[in-house]
Amino acid sequence: MSRVLVLNAKALLGTWPLGTTRVNGARMPQLPQLENAWLFAENGRITAIGQHATEAPPEPTPETRIVHAEGRFVLPGFCDSHTHTVFAATREGEWEDRLRGLTYQQIAARGGGIMSSAHALRAASEEDLFQQALTRIQELMRMGTVALEIKTGYGLNTEAELKMLRVIHRLRRTLPLEIKATLLAAHAVPTEYKEDRAAYMRMILHELLPRAVEEGLADFLDVFCETGYFTVKDMEDLLSAAARYGLKGKVHVNQFTSLGGVASAVRHHALSVDHLEIMTEQDLRALRGTDTIPTLLPGCSFFLGIPYAPARRLLEADHAVALASDFNPGSAPSGNMVHTMALACTQMKMLPTEALTAATQNGAAAMDLGKQLGSLTVGKHASFIITRPLPSPAAIPYFFGSDVIDTVFIHGDIVRSGSAIA
């Protein structure tokens, strides 16, 4: 039986009460914490937490792993609910073209962008894709990510999309972190269907989606609802079809333009609406009072130089805002969630406490993992981060660019060992 006992933590952060699966905007600034505290985990689950002043921790047995957390914070591991971590090639060349003045849309029109990723991915073997993604995710785990959603969308034909899903499943079987797979065949219209988007839609609806479901490979369905990509009607058709197979939607909407996709996604009970850089009053109204999680991706705004999503408006409307990295080779080549939090604070005026909950509990909720992950709560997975000694929780995003993480546990096992491990 594996046992972990964390002693003398400066504080446990995110000790949300039993039964918490998401945290709404109004409660997000009040991050619950337990000062001068201990945490005990058995068999991959948190079994007890307490404060040294009021309650002694359990007696360690010889096999209990002791962690000395003096001066350090313990926080739930990051739950990154929107990534494109499986890809065949990086795109620095396009990035340099953008630095020289071309826009993301101009690059896409020249056959770059998502289509260039698709050409590389179709040519890559399943083994090569797996090995590349494995290396990337091992780095993400060291940066504190304990749950990860990964999308397809660089295959753009049945065989290559299924190949991506199989790679995601092999990653799930191989790695200790939680992985969710999202079918994003409607990421771009591939060149061979350029003149006939409807035929590509039929292929997804009648061939790819049924096969992905039949083989048990997809957890969610996604669509890039955007000018020049897929229409609101396309998204509705895809979300309706997915619902018939029991798959929830997590959609890319309002990144460059507002087409009414938010209202439509909400009507189709999407689990999350992601991006939201361009939000009209109508879009904000459509979201109000719904359970759909607005997922913000400030790393993408940073890297593309596009506007940031209106985080304050969403928080003030009491939404359970989530933060994700959008890790992908074109618009956000980083899965660093501490950096994502720093951008959320500096660029979107989220408070450090709000950013922390958005990157943990609400990210978990945006993957339907809110019951298992996202807080330091008895019964949840022992998937947590121990920081290096820090003056306050706000210092986590404050020291942007610094490596504030010391040790990472997933399911009670060490995936990164720092100086807190004696």
Q: How far is the CB of 328 from Zn ion (least distance, A)?
A: 6
CB of 252 to Zn ion, least distance (A): 5
What size, in residues, is the chain?
A: 422
Q: Minimum CB separation from Zn ion for residue 152, in Å?
A: 11
Burial class (CB in 10 A: 0-12, 13-18, 19+), 2: middle
# binding residues, Zn ion (CB under 5 A): 1
Give CA–CA dist 313/262, Å, rounded.
15
Closer CB to Zn ion, 224 or 384, in the complex: 224
Least Cβ distance, residue 65 to Zn ion (angstroms): 37
| Nearest residue (CB) to Zn ion, 188 versus 247 | 188
We find the least distance from the C-beta atom of residue 76 to Zn ion, in angstroms, to be: 23
Residue nearest to Zn ion (CB): 326
Our CB check for Zn ion shows the closer of 41 and 108 to be 108
**Cα Rg, the chain, nearest whole Å:** 21
User: Whole-angstrom Cα distance, residue 15 to residue 405?
Assistant: 19
Q: How far apart, in Å, are the Cα atoms of 175 and each of 131, 136, 298?
A: 12, 12, 27
Shortest CB 238 distance to Zn ion, Å: 16
**According to CB under 5 A, which residues from 211 to 250 bind Zn ion?**
none
Q: Which is nearer to Zn ion, 83 or 353 (CB)?
A: 83
Give bridge partners of residue 213 from the DSSP assignment: none
C-alpha 279: how far from chain center: 21
Query: Residue 126 CA to chain centroid, in angstroms?
Result: 23
Residue for token pair 């904000």: 284
**Nearer Cβ to Zn ion (277/406):** 277
User: Which CB atom, from 237 or from 326, has the smaller least distance to Zn ion?
Assistant: 326
Rounded to a whole number of angstroms, the minimum distance from the CB of residue 245 to Zn ion is: 22
Which of positions 318-357 make contact with Zn ion (CB under 5 A)?
326
37 burial (CB, 10 Å; 0-12 / 13-18 / 19+) is buried
Burial class (CB in 10 A: 0-12, 13-18, 19+), 10: buried
Which of the residues 267 through 326 are near Zn ion (CB under 5 A)? 326
Nearer to Zn ion, 307 or 391 (CB): 307
> Collapsing DSSP states into helix, strand and coil, what is residue 55?
coil
Report the alpha-carbon distance of residue 90 to residue 159 in Å, rounded. 22
Minimum CB separation from Zn ion for residue 151, in Å?
A: 7
Alpha helices in 49-142 (DSSP H): 92-99, 104-109, 114-123, 126-142
| Straight-line distance from the first to the last Cα atom of the chain, in angstroms, rounded to the nearest whole number | 20
User: Which residues ranging from 352 to 411 are in contact with Zn ion (CB under 5 A)?
Assistant: none
CB nearer to Zn ion: pick between 80 and 326? 326
Residues that bind Zn ion (CB under 5 A): 326
